[in-house]
Amino acid sequence: MIQLNDPALKCALIEKHHFQEYFSLDLEKCSVLLRCEAGETLCHSGEIYPEIQLLADGALIASSVSKSGKLHCELQYQSPNILGLTSALWNKPAINTIEALTPCLCLSLSVDLYGEALHQDTKFLNYACSYLAEHIRKNFIHYEQLPTRLAQFILREQKDGYFGYNTRLCADVLETSQRHLLRTLRSFCDKGILEHVGRSRYRILDVSKLEAQ
């Protein structure tokens, strides 16, 4: 990762994603703007991550290695997002390895410098608790049938009414086979819920039907 000295861009990203609403600290003064390239690793599983990262642009993927040695993609982070909460704040080893899928821009907060202030910041702690609780709630989707898991995943990952995702990664995240995934996507198209508009890209036609899956 490289540090960018661009105060105007940093300010624009903070305003665009309303990041300041979640902190009492002045993010323009306390954060560092970083850029990473696609394929670059931000954090390795088992490491203590010393920074909180606010993902302001781009996409990251979290992966882990099973006991059998198989690489498993846990989830994809789209901007805006936050990473490193439990590792940075509570000194817990990272569970997943985080890698950039695309070029990314992040705002970094050093826990060595601002950890004490963050631990006393009720605005930030309320946000952190809400974020982690929502993350746990979303994990329960893994116990649902594939149509339900896929529908919730599409609703979460869609951009402006379109869903585009590498099918291999999508199948891995949803813990199913590509064949089963593609069959379910075709069934959504047959029901008038989605329209296939390109390779691995779909337009959402009926949000209410998708939510009802």
Q: Are 41 and 92 in contact (CB under 8 A)?
A: no
Q: With a threshold of 0.75, does the pTM exceed it?
A: no
CATH of domain 2-137: 2.60.120.10
Confidence (pLDDT) at 11: 96
Q: Are 139 and 65 in contact (CB under 8 A)?
A: no
> For 25, how many CA atoms within 13 A lie in the half-sphere containing its CB?
21
Question: With 90 as the cut, is the pLDDT of residue 104 above it?
Answer: yes
Confidence (pLDDT) at 22: 94
Token representation of residue 167: 């099918």
Report phi then psi at 27, rounded to 5: -65, -30
Residue labelled with tokens 């337009």: 203
Confidence (pLDDT) at 114: 93
Q: What is the pLDDT of residues 107-159, one digit of tens each?
A: 999 999 999 999 999 999 999 999 888 877 766 666 678 898 899 889 988 88
Confidence (pLDDT) at 80: 92
Q: Are 97 and 64 in contact (CB under 8 A)?
A: yes
Mean pLDDT, to the nearest integer, of 191-209? Answer: 92
Confidence (pLDDT) at 37: 94
Dihedral, CA of residue 80, residue 84, residue 85 and residue 89, to nearest 10: -140
Confidence (pLDDT) at 28: 95
Confidence (pLDDT) at 143: 67
Strand partners, 57: 105
Confidence (pLDDT) at 69: 60
- The candidate with the shortest Cα–Cα distance to 167, out of 210, 199, 213, is 199
Confidence (pLDDT) at 96: 85
Q: What is the pLDDT of residues 33-89, one digit of tens each?
A: 999 999 899 988 888 888 999 999 998 988 876 666 666 677 778 889 998 888 778
Q: What is the CA radius of gyration of the chain?
A: 18
- Domain coordinates of the chain in residue numbers? 2-137, 144-211
CATH of domain 144-211: 1.10.10.10
User: Which is more confidently placed, 5 or 145?
Assistant: 5
Confidence (pLDDT) at 68: 60
Q: Are 58 and 99 in contact (CB under 8 A)?
A: no
Question: With 70 as the cut, is the pLDDT of residue 209 above it?
Answer: yes
Q: What is the pLDDT of residues 180-197, one digit of tens each?
A: 999 999 999 999 999 999
- The candidate with the shortest Cα–Cα distance to 34, out of 62, 15, 9, is 9
Confidence (pLDDT) at 76: 78
Q: Are 109 and 52 in contact (CB under 8 A)?
A: yes
Confidence (pLDDT) at 46: 87
Q: Do the domains at 2-137 and 144-211 have one common CATH topology?
A: no
Confidence (pLDDT) at 49: 83
3 state DSSP class of 190: helix
